[in-house]
A and B are shown apart, each in its own frame.
Chain A
Amino acid sequence: MSAVSTSPVIERGTTMSRIAAIAVAIIIALLAVAPQFLSVGVVDRMTALFIYVILAAMWNALAGFGGLVSVGQQVFFGLGAYFAIRLADAGLNPFAALFVSAVVVGAVSWPLSLFMLRLRNGEFAIGMWVIAALTHLLVNLDRLVQGETGTSLISLNIYDASTRRVTIYWLALASMTALLAILFGLLRGSTGAAIRAIRDNEDAAASVGVRVTGTKRLLFVLAAFGIGIAGALWLATSITFQPKTYFNVQWTAYMIFMVLVGGIGTFEGAILGALVFFLIETWFGGTGVWYLVGLGATAVLFSLFLPRGLWGTIEERFGLRLLPVGYRVRLPADIGDGNAEPSPQQSTTSREKA
């Protein structure tokens, strides 16, 4: 099921990208059957990893490609979980509720975008944070949630533990694959050209007829939808919903960390960043406060000394052709219809702006 959604990769006309596409298909196929062989703990951890990849990819779509750094993305994470609780309480199948919830989150983000996208840079960043804080307070008012006490996705209990675990794993894997494929397809198509034009110079892009606001809105809604799924899936894995946990700004901190370390504005960077974060969390998560200090400090150091992140630096240093996976999604260099434009290559090299 999942392999189908990576098909756009194969359309690339180079040997390297074909190899990469096949590798991706194999990896996804392996991941799909993995629960048969993995221990219970590992399955849970892998589910968490898929959710991290979603978070990183969605935040990167917004900030890296849309130039919209939000410090309030936890609002969609929290709402994803909250609406799932609400829908399940209304009698919807809990697994279905996870996805309907994300659709609701996406729908909510649309009117919000009309308003927030008029803010620039830091104003947008903190403005989103205010939205998250306000939403958190409003969710607390819901009697079902009982303030910070929270509530649980009780209806999931009708499934036995192992069915539940594996189902959530597959749902997370499928969601991740589908979201990455949507993002990939978007970036490859004409929207991708528009996105890159906006990132490189918003005013110039607008002057040649790129629909700046429309394109940003698309990214905003997509990111909200994806992060909504991530929140709902996280709820499914942990069952309990405490507003304080889900509307915590640390979720955005994680997203920022993953994207900054992996490489802001590169498709693979977000995935790499999520992997790095996952490993760091696995090894150092137990050290509590120092782990968080380390994350913050690393984010600062990367933004100062390696603003293009690991992937951006690797790309730059070794050139594209040496890295098959990288080449697979090096979109800007050869979009099929982008040759009429004089500088498709230039837009890849001027990436330090992002």
Chain B
Amino acid sequence: MSNQIIQGVLLGGYYALIACGLSFMFSVMRIINLAHGSLAVFAAFALWWLASRFHVSPFVGLLIVLPLMAAIGWALQRFLLERSARGGALLPILTTFGLAIVIDNMLFEQFGADTRSLAPYIGSLSYDSWEWPGSIYVGKLAVIMFATAVILLGGLQLFLTRTRLGRSIRATSEDPDTAGLVGVDARRANAIAAAIAMVTVGLAGAFLGMRATFDPYAGAPQLLFAFEAAVIGGAGSLWSTLIGGIVLALAQTLGAQVHPQGFLIGGHAVFLVVLFVRLSTSGLGLRGLLRLPSRSAP
């Protein structure tokens, strides 16, 4: 049992990674990006393409893919989200959903329906493990993934609180107009935030590809996992996303013990339970993770 718990906690690192970008964009731009999962799958395909075509190790490939993801984030904000956000809260949902359909089907057109994995391109890392006391084996990849999540979440937290750019991003998310008065360029801050979010999505895509298989339509489940982890974590700090990811992963691991289909059911069920408890006690939903007070509705 303790083995399952450890594996579940480590898997939680992946969910925290993929939830990180979604929450980040929501807390800064108040936009829930429905193309989030599809973009992670896109990054995984980009790494797979580099590896299979040019024999570039996925870790080296990240040097190309992460800047590409940042550029995509920038462009996404400038050309799609900024424009659609002007039309109210509903249009960005529709725009990003349309984008997700385009990405999924373009990937299908390009790569076909086969499931792929980055595992063959990372050598023995995909199956190497350490033995922990009590003859528990933990995969090296899972540990790396978890460590990456911790470092990334901690780094983002430091970035937002300690740097000038981070502070201007937070100021923009609080109140773009007032931030503008004191010299913060809201458009720039939002575009940078979107670029950062997409870098985290790129990392999540890399780990998705390394630890499991993916196909062109794998984006939707990733979006749901990211959303569930973010909601379970709830408001607070970036660390609560990590907790959310771990709780989600544990529920899935536990569900899988009960029933073959229990993996997904367990995850969805714990999400609904947490949501129900939260709604019936405080009325809070997903509120981001930057320790920001929620912007009250106009």
Contacts and interface: CB of A to CB of B under 8 A. Distances in A.
Partners in one complex: yes
Interface of A: 63, 67, 69, 71, 115, 118-123, 125-127, 129-131, 133-134, 137-138, 140-141, 202-203, 249, 253, 256, 260, 289-290, 292-293, 295-300, 303-304, 307, 352-354
B265 A67 contact: no
B149 interface: no
Interface residues of B, number: 49
A296 B264 contact: no
Nearest to B33: A122
B101 A293 contact: yes
A140 B261 contact: yes
B108 A123 contact: no
A134 B223 CA distance: 14
B100 interface: yes
Contacts of A290: 105, 109
Contact of B101 (A63, A125, A202, A295): A295
Contact of A300 (B98, B108, B220, B272): B98
A2 to B, nearest CB: 32
B34 A71 contact: yes
Interface in B250-274: 259, 261, 264-265, 268-269, 271-272
A307 B224 contact: no
Given A130-B268, A307-B91, 13 more contacts: A115-B276, A118-B279, A120-B89, A122-B93, A129-B223, A133-B264, A202-B297, A293-B102, A296-B101, A299-B98, A303-B95, A307-B87, A354-B90
Give the top 6 A-B pairs by smallest Cβ distance, nearest first: A122-B32, A296-B101, A299-B98, A300-B98, A296-B102, A134-B268
B109 A121 contact: no
Contacts of B276: 115
Which of A203, A256, A295, A300 gathers the greatest number of chain B CB atoms within 10 Å?
Answer: A300
Contacts of A119: 275, 279, 285
Interface in B66-83: 80, 83
A71 B88 contact: no
A126 B32 CA distance: 9
B275 A297 contact: no
A206 to B, nearest CB: 11
A129 B224 contact: yes
Given A130-B224, A293-B101, A121 B89 contact: yes
A297 B35 CA distance: 13
B286 interface: yes
Contact of A249 (B90, B98, B220, B297): B220
Which of A67, A126, A137, A353 gathers the greatest number of chain B CB atoms within 10 Å?
Answer: A126
A135 to B, nearest CB: 9
B105 A121 contact: no
A260 B90 CA distance: 11
Contacts of A63: 90
Contacts of B98: 256, 296-300, 303
A300 B87 CA distance: 13
A133 B87 CA distance: 29
Contacts of B271: 130
Nearest to A265: B90
A260 B221 CA distance: 25
Contacts of A352: 87
Which of B26, B83, B275 gathers the greatest number of chain A CB atoms within 10 Å?
Answer: B275
Contacts of A256: 94, 97-98
B232 to A, nearest CB: 11
B119 interface: no
B141 interface: no
Contacts of B283: 118
Given A292-B105, A296-B100, A134 B265 contact: yes
Nearest to A292: B105
B26 A134 contact: no
B224 A299 contact: no
Contact of A125 (B93, B279, B298): B93
A189 B23 CA distance: 41
Nearest to A352: B87
A126 B225 CA distance: 11
Contacts of A202: 297
A137 to B, nearest CB: 5
Nearest to A305: B83
A300 B32 contact: no
A123 B285 contact: yes
Contacts of B31: 122
21 contacts: A69-B93, A69-B94, A119-B275, A125-B32, A125-B93, A126-B223, A129-B223, A129-B224, A203-B297, A249-B220, A253-B101, A256-B94, A290-B105, A292-B101, A297-B102, A299-B95, A300-B98, A303-B87, A303-B91, A352-B87, A354-B90
